[in-house]
Structure 1
């Protein structure tokens, strides 16, 4: 896994950047935007993206307005719009664009590129109130007095949040969505494109980049999941439609009462939600939770909102009160989590005293291992001799375990 540094300059990323990334335990590799072809849009192995350079000039006026080009499908701003940036935004891979790099970030969401403007006497930069609760800026010191605002204007997309501004030159720093930041002023005390040696980061810029590196490392597991599933979300339902009867049969094993409250954790396109709704009836509540917004969007397109609500959330930190759920359904999720015991504890926290947890996969462990060309792993969490004590240690009691040729199912109830 690595952070990709995109820049127009030839050679390696500035050492000031790679040094900060390395201090956070992150590898880096450089992609040149000067090449004739766009960088590959494949996010495999990418934990984050830093965009250090865009074009030095951008057209203004009516011809610069956003809107897809009939020939290329890119914004008609005349500004390069690498597919890798668009894919990273869609998958919520953390992105940090600095200086002229913001001219690639904003157009990737359909906004007009920045008008470069002209240098002038400019007031000091100030963080906005929104910066106080921003994942990257919260707790950060004010920008260094020596950092001057970037001239010109920038049309931001509707979901952007302004984080730093100044009189006459707004939108100096902003967040797009939940995972992309643009910093128009230069936090390096020089040109963000740099050389192979690179400029020296000023203290504020180094702090910001360090915060970004820490955020990238903390989100690495979720980033990998989102990157994997985002590209597959549109075809997921059709590809696995044949599994729907197995999901329905498994969900029935929860044996929920009408009026009950059910949650599908790691719901994907929500294939279990109709069966959960059938059990709890019109007076019940069904919630589908997934960490990948693209999968939830696919679930909505396939009508799952008719059966319940959809929510983007971390299944190890559920935005739910304690003891509020009667049934938890989770298919193919637990053994892929970085801390499955923490997840089981969290699921026990939200479960009612008479609740039920059902872990499911539409194929057995042996079949999945053979499909991937490997033997069964004795350390597999889902092996009964591992799963039973894991459940007991986290507030559950295993009362049914099936690992057959055509499915895996484990049913647990809260320990008294």
Structure 2
């Protein structure tokens, strides 16, 4: 990063360059006719914001490193990479918009697959000059262009620009806020997850008490169906496939993880990965696992960018693409919630079928075969996709709202 001294030298030189230009007869002032204090002042604000952002991210990365939060540090690096991608997108749109807007296509082709009704194709009562001007004023940030916004495109009769400079500017803003909302939405989701895991701390502390050691005494035997975990997840309907999934579907709307679930999963994890009776903080392990998952979901993968482009392609007037796209994350989240509840129920059924008696807490056997296609990572990728789609729906809603009411 350049020292602040060099930025000051740059501003002084920029102000001198702005004042050395010749006059212009244009109604809109160009850079060489703009006061040097205005140019330097605007650049100062932009540069200070950039430096503040860079310093804040650096401090945050140092804080993660000092506290050995490797996963969160890698997530921060991924956010920096996304900011770099956005920078390249902004650079390409800024310097390429004048060339893209000069590409002309036939008017008949330009009138196909429009997201809204085209001007001049409404009822006769809507074709007056006042109504036409009113609709034009509803366009989002109509007079706010990028650096080359003043460039006009001349196409021959019967042809129109492939995409106008104004449309490129709106697309530019949409892409920027999509990435920002996705990072914020993922961060908020992780914070809610950490709050949920924090509630399990009291259950973890119970494992160090004498009451827990007494209830988990190997000399105490119980029938399988008498354990809290099996009793909570098994009943007559769990033997019928249809009612099995219906019950798992509705169970996700109540308390997702109970005390018996937590202690049973903890006991199974320790017996598989550690020596039985080991002192292990299972709650902190889950918290670190959440941070590892956040490192994945905070990024915008090529698949997610592809889904964004596909939505823009299918967002045709009358197809109601926004409505159908909003159902996709809802269906995914409900399906994942049902699947996770079914995994707990399958574990409980397996225990009841395998053992007649258990010692203390029942021992579950974790396996990838409980998940779809034997791939636990598929659940994480689906959550990643749902988070991105939710962020996109929020972004697109505000984008349409501003475009119609600003």
TM-score range, shorter chain: under 0.3
Q: Which structure has the greater CA radius of gyration?
A: 2
Structure number with greater CO (CA < 8 Å, separation at least 6) is 2
The structure where strand makes up a greater share of residues is: 1
Higher percent of residues as helix:
2
TM-score, length of structure 1 as denominator length:
0.23
TM-score (norm 2): 0.23
